[in-house]
Amino acid sequence: MGKGTIKVVADRCKSCGYCIKFCPKGVLAIGKNVNAKGYEYVEPVNMDDCIACAICGRICPDGAIEVYKN
Amino acid sequence: MELIYSRTKTIQEDKVSGFCPGCMHSTVIKLIGEVIEELDVVDKSVLITGIGCCGLHMDYIAYDTITAPHGRACAVATGMKKASPDSLIFTYQGDGDFASIGLAESVSAANRGGNFTVIFINNGIYGMTGGQMAPTTLLGMKASTAPKGRIAEEHGYPMHMSEILDKLTAPAYIERTSCNNPQNVMKTKKAITKAFKNQLEGKGFSMVEIVTSCPTNWGLDPMKSLEFIEEKMLPEYPLGVIRDTIG
Amino acid sequence: MARVLMKGCEAIAEAAVRAGCRFFAGYPITPQNEIPEYFARRLPEVGGNFVQGESEVASINMVYGAAAAGARAMTSSSSPGIALKSEGISYCAAARIPIVYCNVARGGPGVGAIQPAQQDYFEATKAAGNGGFRMLVYAPSTVQEAVDMTYRAFDDADRDRNPVLILADGVIGTMMEPVELPEMKSEEEVKAIQDSKKDWACIGHKLDYANRAWIQPGQWDTVKMQQWNEDAYEMYKTWKPEVEIYQVEDAEVVMTAYGISARICKSVVDILRAEGKKVGLIRPITVSPFPYDAYDAINYDICKTVLDVEMSIPPQFIADVDRGIHHRAEIETCLCSGGNIMSRDAVIEAVNKLLAK
């Protein structure tokens, strides 16, 4: 288990990809599932590497990402 | 597990912002909310929105808000602050609103040094109406009303509102920031915090100009629009503190 | 209470202060400059605020802001300046923000003439801004009336959460008359009025999604927008028109006029009655809502012609008069315009001509 845990509030995500671009550890990726607005929302794919820096949360325009410290 | 970051409570829990993917209006509204929460002034806060995309968040924020006629937000703020001096009053305006139709209201309010805050969103284009040319549109940048791109001889040059207002004597604090990367997001939050604190301490007029994107009307995906900010917008609109009489 | 000699504009401003007005923003334009000038001196004495706006547009929006924070607030201007304010007035109506404003009307259209006129009737009563909203519009014919109307206009505005217009003219604004000023509201009363608006005023509220102040000068949702218009319409229908019916019962010629023209007509009634001539006057005190039913007071068996007297060419007030008379009599006009004040002799001549028919 990594240092951090990411929870994506799926319906807020608009698939812009900012969190993916700026995550220093490559924790996030666009997923295959679609949310209520029709966006393929972001999902953690490599949670073990998460360092709980919360950059993803801060860069996300829509506040779709909750970050927890383990 | 300890929650270390989540969306501000000043955005209604069940609401999703109406902005396009990658639009930094959402980012700024989130930051404003975080600052309001951290300063513990939710019960004093009044947001005066302009007309345009800048008003799209009025139904999902959780604090007081009023819509001003297009361009008149600074005049509305002037009256409101006089009538309710203890409230934290800030306008939230796009470039068409603040720098075009509202130029007289914006400059005059800054010149009076009104003790309120302007959050000015500069994305170089009219968003809601569909990508028309703004005073801030870059030279050569295409717009639906400048199909060949902005031409200096015909349309003049991009307007630098922060620098224009810096020529006045009264303003207390003017900073230009962006939200194109995590560092700039944090700097924007710091600038908003400072601007709000100035008002709470009665220091006078503060403005934060935030260079943002409009992926939809720029015709770029959100990632490409980040590059456009870096490569095109920021050389024209350099970031930093433009004026600080407070220190 | 003692009577004081005051200029119309200043008396209007003092009446507003006494009604609890604590914010005024305006822009210079003749013939109403004494209103902002008076407020600039007077408001600081009572803890209020005066701002000279950079334009009429800015001024009305400052008033919109102050009133949206709960203060009793006012602006004034004259015809071309009022046109500039129409955007903000429409926003106040749409956002249900109570404000009072005064048009010290002058000649028009365009920059017009700086002298008195009644050329803004349609604008004042039918379309003071976009969107088909309605307002209470008072038409004073004396300085005393202007004072009394201004004073009560703030109560009307607060009751309805709607703009109220004092439709004066350059004569009312610039002449001096003895007036009895209304009682000054105490600081406690003024504060209580402002506090009574706390629920909806934009002043900041505790974090509670349902109970924040959200002032919207429009609706995104078509169903809500229609509902808004229906609600406003119901509110407009609660208004009672006010009118002065003067010596009409046995009149063979009835004049009808509002504001300063009506005052001139009233003196004509007295002069001609002294000569034994049967003439009367119908004077709307509110021109919106318009007292259409007042024209039922005319005995159409003996009165075959009504004389519409107004300082507007082409006539405008006549459109409402026409609806009130509803084909029961002919309507003749006695008009002047361009900043020329209605001459009593011209009215007398016009009435005598009709009496001789």
pLDDT digits (tens, 9 = 90+) for C316-352: 999 999 999 999 999 999 999 999 999 999 999 999 9
- For residue C313, what is the DSSP state? S
Chains in touch with C (≥3 Cβ pairs < 8 A): B
- Whether C192 and C247 map to the same domain: the answer is no
Contact B8, B33 (CB under 8 A): yes
B202-209 average pLDDT score: 98
- Whether C169 and C247 map to the same domain: the answer is no
State the smallest CA–CA distance between residue B233 and chain C in angstroms.
31
Q: Is the pLDDT of residue C2 over 80?
A: no
By the CB < 8 Å criterion, does B42 face chain C? yes
Within a domain: C300: yes
CATH 3.30.70.20, domain A4-69, yes or no: yes
The ipTM, to two decimals, is 0.97
Within a domain: C116: yes
Closest-CA residue in chain A for B23?
Answer: A61
Largest CA distance in chain B: 60
Please name the member of B58, B83, B87 whose beta carbon is closest to the beta carbon of C204. Answer: B87
Q: How confident is the model at residue C208 (pLDDT cuts 50, 70, 90)?
A: confident
Please name the member of B23, B30, B179 whose beta carbon is closest to the beta carbon of A63. Answer: B30
CA–CA dist B108, B164 (Å, integer): 12
Within a domain: C208: no
Q: How confident is the model at residue A2 (pLDDT cuts 50, 70, 90)?
A: confident
Within a domain: C221: no
Please name the member of A12, A59, A64 whose beta carbon is closest to the beta carbon of B185. Answer: A59
Contact B120, B98 (CB under 8 A): yes
B196-217 average pLDDT score: 98
What is the domain range of residue C330?
243-355
Chains in touch with B (≥3 Cβ pairs < 8 A): A, C
- Whether C162 and C29 map to the same domain: the answer is yes
Supply the pLDDT for residue C1.
Answer: 65
State the smallest CA–CA distance between residue B143 and chain C in angstroms.
26
DSSP C181-230: PPPPPPHHHHHHHHHTTTTTSSS---S-TTTS-EE-SS-SSHHHHHHHHH
Q: List beta partners, residue C5.
A: C178
Largest CA distance in chain C: 75
Q: Is the pLDDT of residue C192 over 80?
A: yes
Task: Give the neighbor-by-neighbor strand order of the sheet with C253-256.
Answer: C243-246, C279-284, C253-256, C305-310, C330-335
Supply the pLDDT for residue C210.
Answer: 87
Residue whose token pair is 């003067």? C246
What percent of chain C shows pLDDT beyond 90? 98
Supply the pLDDT for residue C262.
Answer: 98
DSSP-based helix, strand, coil % in chain B, nearest 5: 40, 20, 40
Q: How far is CA C79 from CA A51, C38, C110, C140, in A?
A: 67, 20, 9, 16
| b/e per residue B73-84 (b: at least 16 CB within 10 A) | bbbbbbbbbbbb
Give alpha helix (H) positions in chain C. Answer: 8-18, 34-42, 56-68, 79-95, 121-125, 143-160, 170-174, 187-195, 222-236, 259-274, 318-325, 344-355
DSSP B95-145: HIIIIIITHHHHHHHHHHT-SSEEEEEE-SB-TTTTS-B-TTPPBT--BTT
Q: C236, C266, C286: which is the final residue of a domain? A: C236
Could you read off the pLDDT of C103-160 as tens digits, one per residue? Answer: 999 999 999 999 999 999 999 999 999 999 999 999 999 999 999 999 999 999 999 9
Quick one: how many helices (H) and strands (E) in chain B? 10, 8
Phi and psi, residue C172, nearest 5°: -60, -40
SS3 C95: helix
Which pTM value belongs to this model?
Answer: 0.97
Contact C243, C283 (CB under 8 A): yes
Domain of residue C90, CATH code: 3.40.50.970
Contact C287, C125 (CB under 8 A): yes
Please report residues of C whose CB lies closer than 8 A to that of B67: 95, 215-218
By the CB < 8 Å criterion, does B64 face chain C? yes
Contact C175, C8 (CB under 8 A): yes
Closest-CA residue in chain B for A60?
Answer: B27
For C37-42, which contacts have Cβ atoms below 8 Å and span 24 or more sequence positions? C38/C9, C38/C10, C38/C13, C38/C14, C39/C13, C39/C74, C42/C13, C42/C14, C42/C17
Q: Please state the three-class secondary structure of C43-79 as a single string.
A: HHHHCCEEEECCCHHHHHHHHHHHHHCCCEEEEEECH
CB-based contact B48 C53, cutoff 8 Å: no
Cα angle B178-B181-B182, degrees, rounded to a multiple of 5: 105
CB-based contact B16 A17, cutoff 8 Å: no
**Phi-psi group of C237: left, alpha or beta (phi > 0 → left; psi -120 to 50 → alpha; rest → beta):** alpha
Q: Are there at least 3 beta-carbon pairs closer than 8 Å between B and C?
A: yes
CA–CA dist B214, B235 (Å, integer): 17
- The residue that leads in pLDDT, C262 or B58, is C262
Domain of residue C336, CATH code: 3.40.50.920
Q: Is the pLDDT of residue C357 over 90?
A: no
Contact B65, B12 (CB under 8 A): no
Domain tally, chain C: 2
Of C159, C97, C161, C165, nearest to C127 by C-alpha is: C165
Q: How confident is the model at residue B246 (pLDDT cuts 50, 70, 90)?
A: confident
Q: List beta partners, residue A51.
A: none
DSSP B132-201: -B-TTPPBT--BTTBTT-B-HHHH-----HHHHHHTSSS--EEEEEE-SSHHHHHHHHHHHHHHHHHHHT
Supply the pLDDT for residue B52.
Answer: 93
Count of C-beta atoms within a 10 Å radius of residue C135: 26
Of C3, C294, C272, C25, nearest to C142 by C-alpha is: C3
- Whether C247 and C150 map to the same domain: the answer is no
B141-168 average pLDDT score: 97
CA–CA dist C285, C241 (Å, integer): 8
Within a domain: C224: no
Could you read off the pLDDT of C36-90 as tens digits, one per residue? Answer: 999 999 999 999 999 999 999 999 999 999 999 999 999 999 999 999 999 999 9
* Average pLDDT of chain C, as a whole number: 97
Give the start-to-end residue ranges of the domains of chain A.
4-69
Domain B24-244 adopts which CATH fold?
A: Rossmann fold (3.40.50)
CB-based contact B182 A55, cutoff 8 Å: yes
Q: List beta partners, residue A42.
A: A30
Give alpha helix (H) positions in chain A. Answer: 18-22, 55-59
Phi and psi, residue C338, nearest 5°: 75, 10
Of B153-167, C118-132, C207-221, minimum mean pLDDT range: C207-221
Give the start-to-end residue ranges of the domains of chain B.
24-244
Please name the member of B9, B66, B112 whose beta carbon is closest to the beta carbon of C215. Answer: B66
CA–CA dist B203, B34 (Å, integer): 22
Q: List beta partners, residue B90.
A: B47, B117
Closest-CA residue in chain B for A12?
Answer: B16
Could you read off the pLDDT of C77-112 as tens digits, one per residue? Answer: 999 999 999 999 999 999 999 999 999 999 999 999
Cα angle B213-B219-B224, degrees, rounded to a multiple of 5: 60
Instruction: Pick the residue of B3, B14, B16 with the most A CBs within 10 A to test the interface with A by mutation.
Output: B16
Q: Is the pLDDT of residue C30 over 80?
A: yes
- The residue that leads in pLDDT, C208 or A65, is A65
